[in-house]
Amino acid sequence: MAALLEVKNLGISFGGLRAVDDFEISIKKGQLYGLIGPNGAGKTTIFNLLTGVYKPSEGVISLEGNNITGLKTIEINKAGIARTFQNIRLFKDLSVLDNVKAGLHNHYKYSTLEGILRLPNYFKMEKAMNEKAMELLKVFELEGEADYLAANLPYGKQRKLEIARALATEPRLLLLDEPAAGMNPNETMELMDTIRFVRDNFDMTILLIEHDMKLVSGICEELTVLNFGRILSQGKTSRVLNDPQVITAYLGE
């Protein structure tokens, strides 16, 4: 079976810094895949390359067999990749519900005129959007806070809302950048369940960056370890975590 995401020879330099070099990955549909590595290894940069925030210096990215290298961010989202951010990027002055509805933007449409004149299609589509958004909020147990401003949510819930918003765009591949950062152990445990739930119930393929080893070893089937922009180890989680090179990189010399 062809892979959902296939990346070959991906690289980028910032001035003299080789942030990512000869990166490759192959993720099958329905997989829960982990991307780990020390600070500054280039993990977030890879997400930025996959989502078109940065243009790669070289390499090919293909999603479901289509070459998406060099496409703009919004085209990549339409092609089926959605993400969350390491430093949370919510629409902080919009309500929690509206954050998710913004994610539904390209799937529930009505014209500007229908919106301004409040024609029947406006009410029909808004109702459908409200229902869909509430459904997504329920998955993350945020339905009670639907009317809150996103900025007023506690940290852990903000991270969940970002995932809900990304899911609203109906992606094939979901990229999570340190989803458990700033969460306490209890919240992290809950999040692991939620991520599994999303994979199973939304038919999702997930690539996640994480520092929390318990989360990584708990839910990821395969791992890629990155160090100084290069792949240090790649493969089944249990094998990778026992790789002496990985242990050295993590524990230091």
Partner 1 sequence: MKKFKLGKNMKDNIITYGIVIIAYVIMQILVSTGHVSSLMQGLLVPLCVYVILAVSLNLTVGILGELSLGHAGFMCVGAFAGAFFSKCMKNVITFGLLRFVLAILIGALAAGIIGFLIGMPVLRLRGDYLAIVTLAFGEIIKNVINVLYIGKDSRGLHFSTKDSLSLGLEPEGDVIINGAQGITGTPKDSTFTIGVILIILTLIIVLNLIHSRDGRAIMSIRDNLIAAESIGINITKYKLMAFSISAALAGVAGVLYSHNLNSLMATPKNFGYNMSIMILVFVVLGGIGNIRGSIISAVVLTLLPELLRGLSNYRMLIYSIVLIVMMLFNWSPKLIDLRKRYSLKRLLKRTREVQ
Q: Which residues bind ligand ATP (CB under 6 A)?
A: 14, 17, 19, 37, 39-45, 86
User: CB of 205: closest distance to partner 1 in angstroms?
Assistant: 17
| Other CB atoms within 10 Å distance of the CB of residue 10 | 22
User: CB of 94: closest distance to partner 1 in angstroms?
Assistant: 6
The contacts of residue 9 (CB under 8 Å, 6+ apart) are: 22, 23, 24, 58, 59, 60
C-beta closer to ligand ATP: residue 52 or 103:
52
Instruction: Report the alpha-carbon distance of residue 199 to residue 93 in Å, rounded.
Output: 30
Stretch that binds Mg ion, among 40-48, 51-59, 143-151, 222-230 (CB under 5 A): 40-48
C-beta closer to ligand ATP: residue 19 or 97:
19
**Binding partner of 14, given Mg ion, ligand ATP, partner 1, none, CB within 5-8 angstroms per partner class:** ligand ATP
Across the beta sheet with 32-36, the strand order is 81-83, 173-177, 205-209, 32-36, 222-227, 230-236
Site residues for Mg ion, window 132-191 (CB under 5 A)? none
User: CB of 137: closest distance to ligand ATP in angstroms?
Assistant: 28
Stretch that binds partner 1, among 4-12, 28-36, 116-124, 177-185 (CB under 8 A): 116-124
Q: Under the criterion CB under 5 A, does residue 86 sit at the interface with Mg ion?
A: yes
Q: Under the criterion CB under 8 A, does residue 161 sit at the interface with partner 1?
A: no
Q: Under the criterion CB under 5 A, does residue 44 sit at the interface with Mg ion?
A: yes
Instruction: Report the alpha-carbon distance of residue 45 to residue 186 in Å, rounded.
Output: 29
Q: Under the criterion CB under 8 A, does residue 169 sit at the interface with partner 1?
A: yes
Instruction: Report the alpha-carbon distance of residue 191 to residue 77 in Å, rounded.
Output: 24
User: CB of 51: closest distance to partner 1 in angstroms?
Assistant: 6
Q: Under the criterion CB under 8 A, does residue 94 sit at the interface with partner 1?
A: yes
CA distances from 199 to 10, 150, 172, 243 (A): 26, 25, 11, 27
The binder of partner 1 chosen from 67, 70, 118, 245 (CB under 8 A):
118
Q: Given the structure tokens 């809950």, which residue do they identify?
A: 190
- Which residues of the chain form contacts with Mg ion (CB under 5 A)? 43-44, 86
